[in-house]
Amino acid sequence: MLTGRRIVLGVSGGVAAYKAAYLARRLVEGGAEVRTVMTAAATEFLGTQTLAAITGSAPLLDLFGGDDPSPHTNLARWADAVVVAPATAATLARIAAGMSEDALSTTVLAAWGTPVLLAPAMHTEMWDHPATQRNVATLEADGYTLVGPESGALAGGDEGPGRMAEPEAIVAALVRMLGSGDLAGWRVLVSSGGTREAIDPVRYIGNRSSGKMGNAIAVAAAARGAAVTLVTSVPPPAGERLPIDVVSVETAQQMAQAVWSRAGDSHVAVLAAAVADFRPRDPAGTKLRRTDGTPAIDLEPTPDILQGVAAMSPRPFLVGFAAETGSLDEAVAKAQRKGVDLLVANDVAKEGSGFGTETNEVSLIMPDGTTEPWGLMSKREVADRLWDRIRKMRTGDPH
């Protein structure tokens, strides 16, 4: 299961590079998000547009001349794992020696601490060479995982050990290498979307929340091995293959009941939904009509879902969200008033940080009122960084 995993696929220059296209397809079909990096020699065997069409992202070919000042480090930080297939003798040598002569070897070097899977491919004599075997021993001692090579037909009509493992075997090895993730064993509860509070059977009081931030948080947790329950008023993310238990709701009352009934069994609750603060006290049973004049709508407070979870004993590690316009001072007060372990605040009036965007610019607010502003990034990047922080705070792990 690779759903939600971020995989960098590196392709070096060998005849087996043609298999990288099929491997990329299998990774995408397995639910992974795939980005690619190619050596100059690899482009002699496989067109860059092929990988771009399969993955939806152009391969990284060079470290210079682009808009990103540090493409190799950003790609390495983005990845859950790196796969190099084919890994030629020269590529194995560069990685074993810690050399950074091209975009691929530099990205692998920058990915230290991230799982790396190497799929060697070369002629038998090259594979059997003492230098290659020394490099393989060094790579394995350094923590790299190798899959293959296999015995079979090689370039030029030769046969013997050195054939790259088949894409299915590489995918299986990747799944084994990744294991269950750093949130394995965690039960996570996430809420997302806005609520709809009926005025009459046709109209409602609501807000502009798309649920994208909460959904990204749920996906990121599931990708890292957590058992995730998502209470949401919007369509669930990315289809049925996601290992997420989706509970659909519409009103604040329904969301409160769904969250409160599940929070006690959760290790972490991230309440990212934009819940209405008020609802009509007495919704009309039939459609209100213009000809009847302007209706008077008497409002009453909705349940305070966040405060309800905070009051539980025992309670999960609790993360709240605050959508503000302008100053975040009220969000700081909310963090202290609600008694959360962490509050995520953003200015929805700020460009790129509002409802429905693909990006977000948030600030973390601690219970003591200290704040940590984060720059503008994708909502998935916010989600992954948030889970990094939650894991450290909950476990006391400084790494």
Secondary structure of residue 255 in the 3-state scheme: helix
What is the CATH number assigned to the segment(s) 187-395? Answer: 3.40.50.10300
Q: Which of 79, 134, 135 is nearest to 108 (CA)?
A: 79
pLDDT at residue number 397 = 60
Residue range 76-102: average pLDDT?
Answer: 91
Fold classification of 6-178 (topology level): Rossmann fold (3.40.50)
The greatest distance separating any two alpha carbons of the chain, rounded to the nearest whole angstrom, comes to 91
Please state the domain extents for the chain: 6-178, 187-395
Answer yes or no: is pLDDT of 152 > 50. yes
- Residues 6 or more apart from 66 whose CB is under 8 A from it? none
Distance CA 286, CA 303 (A): 25
Answer yes or no: is pLDDT of 284 > 60. yes
pLDDT at residue number 241 = 44
Q: Which of 207, 215, 346, 360 is catalytic?
A: 207
Please state the separation of Cα 178 from the chain's center in Å: 14
- Give exposure, 199-224, as e/b (b: 16+ Cβ within 10 Å): bbeebbbeeebbbbbbbbbbbbbbbb
The answer, as to whether pTM is greater than 0.75, is: no
Q: How confident is the model at residue 155 (pLDDT cuts 50, 70, 90)?
A: low
pLDDT in tens, 290-323: 999 999 999 999 999 999 999 999 999 999 999 8
Q: Which of 300, 294, 297, 344 is nearest to 323 (CA)?
A: 344
pLDDT > 90: percent of the chain: 54
Answer yes or no: is pLDDT of 351 > 70. yes
Q: How many CB atoms lie within 10 A of CB 71?
A: 20
| Average pLDDT value over all residues in the chain | 89
pLDDT in tens, 171-187: 888 887 887 667 878 99
pLDDT in tens, 7-44: 999 999 988 999 999 999 989 888 888 999 999 999 99
Q: Which of 247, 239, 274 is nearest to 348 (CA)?
A: 274
Secondary structure of residue 84 in the 3-state scheme: strand
pLDDT at residue number 181 = 67
360 catalytic? Reply is: no
Fold matches, 6-178 and 187-395: yes
pLDDT in tens, 336-350: 888 999 999 988 888
pLDDT in tens, 38-68: 999 999 999 999 999 999 989 989 888 777 7
